[in-house]
Structure formats: structure tokens, C-alpha cells
Amino acid sequence: MALSRSVVVIGGGIHGCAATYYLSKKLSDLRRRNEKEDDGESQNPRFQVTLLEREDKIACSASGQAGGFLAADWGDAATDQLHKQSFELHAQLAKELDIKSYRTIPTLQVRGGKRNENGLGGDTPTWLDGEIASARLMDDPTRTAQVTPAEVTNKLAQAAENLGAVIKTGQRVVGVVMEDDCVTGVRVRENERGDETVVPCTDVLICMGVWSTLASQWFGLPADAWPITGIKSTHCLWKQREAVRNDPYALFCAEDGRFGTHLEVYPRSDGSLYICGIGGSDYVEGDRLKEGGDCERATMVAANPSRVEAGSSCLKSMTSEASDAPDEIGACMRPCAPDARPLMGPVPGIANAYINAAHNCWGITWGPIAGKVMSELILDGKASLDLSAFRADRYTTKVSRRGRKQQTSDVGEQW
């Protein structure tokens, strides 16, 4: 007879929503199998997954505001498997969940500067009509793609709900309830007075993006067990650019000393034009992420006006499509561990707790595969990928720091 499973996922970004979707799929299979095999003796085991998000909507953090660029073959030895498998899963999900923003897109490496009158050395979009010194194709155009991250994240949450998951927003998780080395519930802060309710669970999965760093102490681990920094940056968006809609290319621009930018430009299928990589990366950690800090929660993370100006000016120098001010500006944090690899696996020393966080600048690409393997780990006890490079105990004994100097810099973007 199957045992009841009640999994609580914390955080409504792409990682929480993808994990909730794949957990719900597996649990609904389990539910069906159990119903078929039920000989009348069973005690009606319960199969439930619940997602708890602090803000009042899903995808309000990096997963709603990122670029959404996907690359199949841009991984390193440890992450290549995540890139390749997730690239395939995005294409599958686009069909399964009717993700309208998904499409493959050619990607150019672009250098700004005096226009080369002999041509730019390859096919270029018509809207790249300004100061471009060179532009060359970076990869096989069928191996790079894009999505609008907010659409994917919301569709994963919606599909999970259709499979029976419970998605609750406005739920600030402040800790867990432990019995021996097992989690039995998740503590949710009810109000300013500090009243709490407990959501009981058989398993818990931490998907709180950069704020996952704060959760190590819930499990009695050292405060620096999961040293995740939030690398905060500003982005801008222009709406209704018809020329861009009709001739889509993603651009990776070389560092441009005139503006202090390292632009990434993503024309989206709805006709909008998005840029990030506009410099001024700000490394957020420690008290800034805690109660009272300026980045305590997703909706408090503010754009830097001087970087909006720099990014807009740089794009304007390259295309007449950005001659007016952006329609939207925003800022968010990408969660990054010192070795830039994700933390994916069991919480050290705890029988039924897991973490899936710190996916740095590839979190949208890796969302589907990370959610899928975490669902396998939690419900089957083993994952179909080798997760040894992503172990959640790799910083517990020795915390190494990122090689690059951490600083607030107005030059380029520090990936």
C-alpha cells in the first residue's frame, strides 16, 4: 500500500513552479495507480503538493523579469547535462502547456562603434541600423531559443494546479517544525504581530532563489552553509516594436566603454524589446536580504536610474527602435553561489528536506530539468542526472569565495 505524501515547495519562481508541476505529475500517476490497485483495504493515502509564495503573485522575482534566453550547448563539464536536457524540455513544455513565447532564435555577437560600410560580416536584422562595427552568428540558430519567463513560470503553476496542486500566494515562510531529524511542517507568518500557522508536510523543498541562503539555519546548519549572493541588476523594456517582431535576433554585445554596458538584447514574440546586462551589478547578501534590509523581498528590489540611462543610450546608439524612453524598467537578483553552480539535493543531515536554488544566470534555461530531477529525488529517492557537482553540503565545511572581486561596478555586467 502506498504511503501518503504531502510535499511543500517554498517559493513561486520558475524553480518552485517547475518542481511543483513535475511533482504533481508524478503524484497524480501515483494516485491513479493506487486507485487501480486499491483492494478496499487501503487507508486512502493522500498525495498532495502545495506551493507557498511570499508575494501576492507567482513570478514576481527574477523568474518574472529575466531575459529568457535558452542555450542548448553553453554549459561547462558539470552543467552541460542541465543545458541539453532542459533545452529539450522547454520545447516539449511549449507544446504541452501552450507556451506562446517559446521560439528558437538566431544569436549574434555584436560590437558597437563606427559602422563598417562594407557590411557587418553576415546576416543582420534590419532594425540594427545604428553604430554597429561587427555582428556575427554565435551558434547554430536551432540551438538557441527564448521564452518570456513570466509566461513559462505562470503556465507551470497553472498546469500544476490543474493536476491537483495547491498554490498559495501571500505566504511568508519563516521556518520549519522538526521532530528528530525530520521536518513535519512549515511555519507561515500570519501577520505583523508574529502569529504563525503550520502547514504539515512529509517533505519540503526550498526554492526561494537568493533568499534560500537564509533557510540553512531552519535546519540547524551554519548561517553560511548556503552562501548565495543576489547579483542585482536593472533591465528595461520597449513595447510594440514591429520591426523587431518581424526580424528577431538575440544580441550579445561586447563591453561598450562609452556607456559602461555589456548589453544582452532580447526581442520577444509579443513585439517588445528587452535589455539587461546594463552594468552596475550590486552584490546583495547578509542583512540586506533579511527583515528590514533593502532587498528583503522581491517587490522591494529597485532599479538604478543611472543604469537605465546608460542602457537606453547604448541601445539607442545601435537602433532607431529605442529612440524614446523605455516603457518598463525593473530590477531583480540572480542567485549565485561562489562557484556559480546550483545547490540541488538533500539538505545535509535531514531525512526529508531538499534545496533547489542558486541557478545564477541560467535559471530560466535550467528550470524544467531542475524541477524534474528534484521531483525524482523526492518521490523516487534517486535522480536521473548526476547531481554530485551541485551537492548542498559542499560549503558546510569549507566556504570558498568567488574568484572575482565583489564590488558595485558601473562597468559592464559581472556574470
Ligand X SMILES: Cc1cc2nc3c(=O)[nH]c(=O)nc-3n(C[C@H](O)[C@H](O)[C@H](O)COP(=O)(O)OP(=O)(O)OC[C@H]3O[C@@H](n4cnc5c(N)ncnc54)[C@H](O)[C@@H]3O)c2cc1C
Residues lying near ligand X in the complex (CB under 6 A): 10-16, 52-55, 60-63, 66-69, 171-173, 207-209, 211, 233, 235, 276, 298, 332-335, 357, 359-365
Measured between alpha carbons, how far is 65 from 49 in angstroms, rounded to an integer? 26
- Alpha-carbon gap, residue 415 to 251, rounded angstroms: 16
- Nearest residue (CB) to ligand X, 267 versus 363: 363
- 67 or 412: whose CB is closer to ligand X? 67
Q: 187: part of which helix (H) or strand (E)?
A: strand 182-189
Number of H helices, E strands in the chain: 7, 20
Minimal distance, residue 205 CB to ligand X, in Å: 11
Task: Output 175 or 346, the one with its CB closest to ligand X.
Answer: 175
309: its cell numbers? 540611462
CA distance 313 to 310: 5
- Smallest distance, ligand X to C-beta of residue 117, A: 33
What is the nearest approach in angstroms of ligand X to the Cβ of residue 182?
21
C-alpha cell at position 262: 555589456
User: Whose CA is closest to 160, among 26, 14, 20, 16?
Assistant: 20
To the nearest whole angstrom, how small is the minimum distance from the Cβ of residue 365 to ligand X? 4
| Joined grid coordinates for residue 402 | 568567488
Q: Which is nearer to ligand X, 5 or 235 (CB)?
A: 235
| Min separation Cβ 123 and ligand X, Å | 22
- Cβ nearer to ligand X, comparing 31 with 79: 79
For ligand X, which is the closer residue by CB, 31 or 412? 412
Residues 183/177, Cβ–Cβ less than 8 Å? yes
Ranked by CB distance to ligand X, the top (closest) residue is: 363
CB 262 within 8 A of CB 275: no
Query: Which of 369, 372, 333, 414 shows the shortest CA–CA distance to 60?
Result: 333
> For residue 279, what are the contacts with CB-CB under 8 A and spacing of at least 6?
233, 259, 260, 261, 262, 307, 310, 311, 409, 410, 411, 412, 413
Q: How far is the CB of 108 from ligand X (least distance, A)?
A: 15
| Cβ proximity to ligand X, 138 vs 207, nearer residue | 207
Q: Which H or E element spans position 199?
A: strand 196-200
Minimum Å gap between C-beta 189 and ligand X is 8
Least distance (Å) from ligand X to the CB of residue 378?
17
Nearer to ligand X, 97 or 333 (CB): 333
Residue 219 to residue 186: CA distance in whole angstroms: 12
Q: How far apart are CA 12 and CA 331, in angstroms?
A: 17
Residue with cell 569549507: 398
